[in-house]
């Protein structure tokens, strides 16, 4: 690699880089076409490969769950439009895996033969592969800001339950002004106030009902699963 080459990597808290691209659902402008929605932009190394096929079937099977969370899925790889269309048709018509079959992918799959988008989002990581994207996942909020980034290697399929948990977690953080502890799931205790403003929690230690302080810097409260779920997708 050219050591003088500037490698840009998008970062959490920054606006999602803009691009216009041809997809299996027509041309899109990302992220502006989806303003007001959550977005998950995810890359895969190549069409017609087994790990990617298992991932697309899983995501396609869960697509309604993400739609219910007001989240637009957008896939991307460095393959061409005809490859994308043929691969998605094969998945739909032929692949029966883990009880999933007839899986129809209705979300856009970006054509990125030039690798413009993959480079823009730091998805080409030459130590892993210089000819295909790694498995990246970008969570972009309704204001088009990047909120979480995941990168996985070529050989390891992602955990889609974790991807959904992260989306629900981010929406809960925003809706309730809290932070979330390790392995949090809706209905578990949440951390108040958000990490970084511990003094506020200390002041609240006395007298606040519904608050449990393990120490001055670590206070939690309960938000029921129903209350969390009532705000999701907002
Ligand atoms: C796969 O999806 O199976 C795969 C793709 C690229 C490299 C290795 C595995």
More confident site: 111 or 208:
111
pLDDT classification of 234: cutoffs 50, 70, 90: confident
CA 55 to ligand 1: nearest atom? 2
In the chain, what are the domain boundaries? 19-162, 177-231
Of 2-6, 136-140, 153-157, 171-175, the range with the lowest mean pLDDT is 2-6
Name all contacts of 148-152 with Cβ < 8 Å and 24+ positions apart: 148/12, 149/10, 149/11, 149/12, 151/125
Q: How far is the CA of 79 from the centre of ligand 1 (A)?
A: 13
56: Cβ below 6 Å to ligand 1? no
Count CB atoms within 10 A of the CB of residue 84.
22
15: Cβ below 6 Å to ligand 1? no
pLDDT of 205 reads 52
The CATH architecture one would assign to domain 177-231 is: 2-Layer Sandwich (3.30)
pLDDT classification of 23: cutoffs 50, 70, 90: very high
Q: Is the pLDDT of residue 65 over 50?
A: yes
pLDDT of 162 reads 98
**Residue 102 DSSP symbol:** S
0.95 exceeded by pTM: no
- Express each pLDDT in 165-189 by its tens digit: 999 999 999 999 999 999 999 999 9
- Express each pLDDT in 117-149 by its tens digit: 999 999 999 999 999 999 999 999 999 999 999
Query: Could you check whether 19-162 and 177-231 share the same CATH topology?
Result: no
Helix (H, G, I), strand (E, B) or coil at 22: strand
pLDDT of 1 reads 45
Q: Is the pLDDT of residue 203 over 50?
A: yes
Residue 219 known to be catalytic: no
Alpha helices in the chain (DSSP H): 50-61, 63-68, 81-94, 116-120, 160-176, 198-203, 225-231
The class (CATH top level) of 19-162 is alpha beta
């Amino acid at each position: 690699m050219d050591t003088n080459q500037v490698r840009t990597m998008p970062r959490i808290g920054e606006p999602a880089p803009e691009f216009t691209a041809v997809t299996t659902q027509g041309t899109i402008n990302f992220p502006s076409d989806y303003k007001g929605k959550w977005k998950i932009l995810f890359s895969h190394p190549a069409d017609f490969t087994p790990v990617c096929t298992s991932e697309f079937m899983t995501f396609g099977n869960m697509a309604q769950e993400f739609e219910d969370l007001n989240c637009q899925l957008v896939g991307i790889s460095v393959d061409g439009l005809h490859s994308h269309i043929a691969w998605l048709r094969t998945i739909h018509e032929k692949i029966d895996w883990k009880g999933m079959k007839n899986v129809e992918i209705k979300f856009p799959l970006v054509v990125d033969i030039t690798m413009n988008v993959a480079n823009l989002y730091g998805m080409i990581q030459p130590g892993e592969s210089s000819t295909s994207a790694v498995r990246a996942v970008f969570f972009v909020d309704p204001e088009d800001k990047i909120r979480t980034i995941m990168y996985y290697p070529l050989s390891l399929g992602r955990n889609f339950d974790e991807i959904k948990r992260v989306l629900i977690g981010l929406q809960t953080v925003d809706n309730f002004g809290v932070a979330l502890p390790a392995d949090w799931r809706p209905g578990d205790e949440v951390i108040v106030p958000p990490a970084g403003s511990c003094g506020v929690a200390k002041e609240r230690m006395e007298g606040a009902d519904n608050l449990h302080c393990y120490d001055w810097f670590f206070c939690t409260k309960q938000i029921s699963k129903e209350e969390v779920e009532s705000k999701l997708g907002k």
